[in-house]
Amino acid sequence: MTSSRKGLQISQEAFDAVVKENMEDFGMDLQEALQDAIHTFKLQGADLKGIITDGSKDENPTNAPVVEIIKELQNASSGAGAITIGHVQNTLHKFHSLCKEGGINTISIAGRHGGVEASISLVRALDDRSVMNLVLEVLSVLTEDTENMGKFKGNGGLQLLMSVLKDLNKDNNTIRHACTLLSSAAKGDEVSKEQFMDLNAAEVLPKLIKECMNDGNLVIFLCNAFRALVTSDDSRVVASKAFMNARTFAENGMVEALLLASSQLQGSSSAITSICMALKSLAVNENICKSIAEQKGIDFILQVMAESIKICDKSVAKSACSFLSQIAMFSLEERVQVIQDGTSIANIWHGTFQTSARSPASY
């Protein structure tokens, strides 16, 4: 049976000290000393993730470049030396590539050597959009590691994201990367959700959806970020505030924002699917459901559902059904509308799937 106990945490210095002792006191060569140290620590139940165990710290073939790059970024953010924006951009590109190619162990090594902190400091030190976008890309990779995500949150990462999203000079890449990080940071973490709400996420996201409502891809990223904040998915808390978060978003115009975007993106099934899922997450009480209905949201979704069934777009049809089921739970008036209009849709559904049954390729 696998133990649930977390492995013993050791430092790079502790590992290096054992390797050095093996070489100096027991006459081992480097590879023997490394293998013996790895074996010894594993017997003790140590977690070697993020520890350079191949000697590259000294010989420089694989992981040492990551450490050197982090030092360069630290120097750039502190203003040490004459470092140009172009040089910083190249360094960030290398950092991103090394972490992507090296996988989780290289990512963890970067985290242990200050990669997260250096990246955040760089954005604050250099007022440059291209650098900011590259840093957000790097952070998206680094935070795939749980410990690195903790460092990101603990060093002002959430504040950085909201500052970026509020920035008038942001571009599409900035929004995309920031929303990806926001979604990851909020997922399964009630405390982070609350911090984002305290940083006015409920005002910022609806505004951005309105600004970006002609760009389906950006709307999808923004909807994902919104849903991360209104989904109760932290098993550590007894009572989530996700319901209250949804109400706060509704009070700040999220219904209007989503429906405006839906009217502009009818040709994008992926965007409409995302909007339907966001509307379902938003429809948490009768007042919000009535607001959606008053703004012709139910009419629009019924229309979308009918069209999606005609063309056998199952993803859109499923998300539309899910939203309508949600909204019908809260209000008798809306339930009647769904049932009445749903009758004609059911006939379309029946006819479509009779045809589809004769034509398997349509699936």
The CATH number of whichever domain residue 311 belongs to comes to: 1.25.10.10
68, part of any domain: no
Determine the Cα–Cα distance for residues 319 and 112; give it in Å rounded to an integer.
42
3, part of any domain: no
The residue that leads in pLDDT, 97 or 51, is: 97
Determine the Cα–Cα distance for residues 310 and 348; give it in Å rounded to an integer.
7
Q: Considering its fold, how many domains does the chain have in total?
A: 1
Q: What share of the chain is helix, strand, coil (3-state, %, to 5)?
A: 75, 0, 25
Read off the pLDDT band of 223 (50, 70, 90).
Answer: very high
CA 284 to chain centre: 23
Read off the pLDDT band of 60 (50, 70, 90).
Answer: very low
288, part of any domain: yes
Amino acid at site 52:
I
158-188 confidence digits (pLDDT tens): 999 999 999 988 999 999 999 999 999 999 9
Q: What is the pLDDT of residue 4?
A: 40
Determine the Cα–Cα distance for residues 245 and 206; give it in Å rounded to an integer.
13
13, part of any domain: no
Q: What is the mean pLDDT of residues 70-95?
A: 88
Q: What is the mean pLDDT of the chain?
A: 86
119, part of any domain: no
Q: Is 298 exposed, middle or buried (0-12, 13-18, 19+ CB in 10 A)?
A: buried
Range name among 111-125, 288-302, 326-340 with the lowest pLDDT average: 326-340
341, part of any domain: yes
Q: Is the pLDDT of residue 349 over 90?
A: no
Q: What is the pLDDT of residue 152?
A: 98
291, part of any domain: yes
Return the beta strands (E) in 31-159 as ranges.
46-47
Read off the pLDDT band of 20 (50, 70, 90).
Answer: confident
Please give the residue range of the domain that contains residue 254: 203-363
Pairing of strands 46-47, 8-9: parallel
Q: What is the mean pLDDT of residues 227-236?
A: 95
Residues written for the chain: 363
Tokens 């291209």: give the residue: 130
Determine the Cα–Cα distance for residues 33 and 39; give it in Å rounded to an integer.
10
Please give the C-alpha separations between residue 23 and each of 11, 20, 33, 198, 255, in angstroms, as whole numbers. Answer: 19, 5, 6, 54, 67
Q: Is the pLDDT of residue 273 over 50?
A: yes
Q: Is the pLDDT of residue 348 over 60?
A: no
Q: CB of 206 within 8 A of CB of 254?
A: yes
Q: Is the pLDDT of residue 346 over 70?
A: no
CA 254 to chain centre: 20
Q: What is the pLDDT of residue 31?
A: 85
Q: Which percentage of the chain shows pLDDT scores above 90?
A: 56
Q: CB of 229 within 8 A of CB of 193?
A: yes
Read off the pLDDT band of 334 (50, 70, 90).
Answer: low
333, part of any domain: yes
Q: Is the pLDDT of residue 278 over 90?
A: yes
